Amino acid sequence: MRETRAPTLDTLLREGGKAAAGSHGVEDLVSVKLWQNPCWLSFRINFLALQFNEPIYRHIEKEHGLARPEFVVLYSLGLSDGLTASAICSSSGFPKNTISRAIQKLVDKNIIRREVDQADLRSFVLYITDEGKRIVDQAMQPMVERENIMVSSLTPAEKLMLSELLAKVVVESSKWPSMTHIEENEE
């Protein structure tokens, strides 16, 4: 009867939502990765990121001829015009050379415009063009739709809760240690 003692928090987290889910539908290995995984969070997050990104970026590539880094730049400017390359880098996580190339392509395609920042001659300020706006607007629709589909099984209250919890984690992310030198077990 030792088996019936209260489960640890770790176990609870790992098996979070298992009871509610039953076992229908989900692929075998997916359910293992869901319920028997010490890294409950990273699997869930990565899996969902992938499920979202893969079809969306494939579609954007087909429809607008933009690769992912290009669209990331465009999307960022769509949310906040007049950005600098490095701002886009740090908010998106792409390395600066990748973003640099993306910017050049977008400039060539007349989707964005680039002006020297008079306050800092090293950097450029980027502006979205009308053509660019047209593209983001159009590309946004499928993205929003897919998001809605993804959370369609949640109640409004649950959606809100999810949004808030994730936001909380994102906000705290600036305080996480940089993990540059993780404890080296072997010297």
Partner DNA sequence: TTTTTTTAGTCCCGTATGGAACTTTGTATT
Partner DNA sequence: AATACAAAGTTCCATACGGGACTAAAAAAA
Sign of CA dihedral 145, 148, 152, 155: negative
- Of 15 and 117, which has the nearer Cβ to DNA? 117
CB 34 within 8 A of CB 26: yes
Under the criterion CB under 8 A, does residue 7 sit at the interface with a copy of itself? Answer: no
Q: Quick one: how far is CA 71 from the chain centroid?
A: 13
Under the criterion CB under 7 A, does residue 101 sit at the interface with DNA? Answer: yes
In the bound complex, what is the minimum distance in angstroms from residue 87's beta carbon to DNA?
Answer: 7
- Of 21 and 107, which has the nearer Cβ to a copy of itself? 21
Q: Taking Cα atoms as reference points, which of 62, 57, 30, 61 lies closest to residue 46? A: 30
- Residue 68: which of a copy of itself, DNA, none does it interact with, CB under 5 to 8 A by kind? DNA
Among positions 39-98, residues that touch DNA (CB under 7 A) are 58, 67-69, 84-86, 89, 94-98
Angle at 70 between CA 73 and CA 88, to 5 degrees: 25
Among positions 37-56, residues that touch a copy of itself (CB under 8 A) are 37-42, 44-56
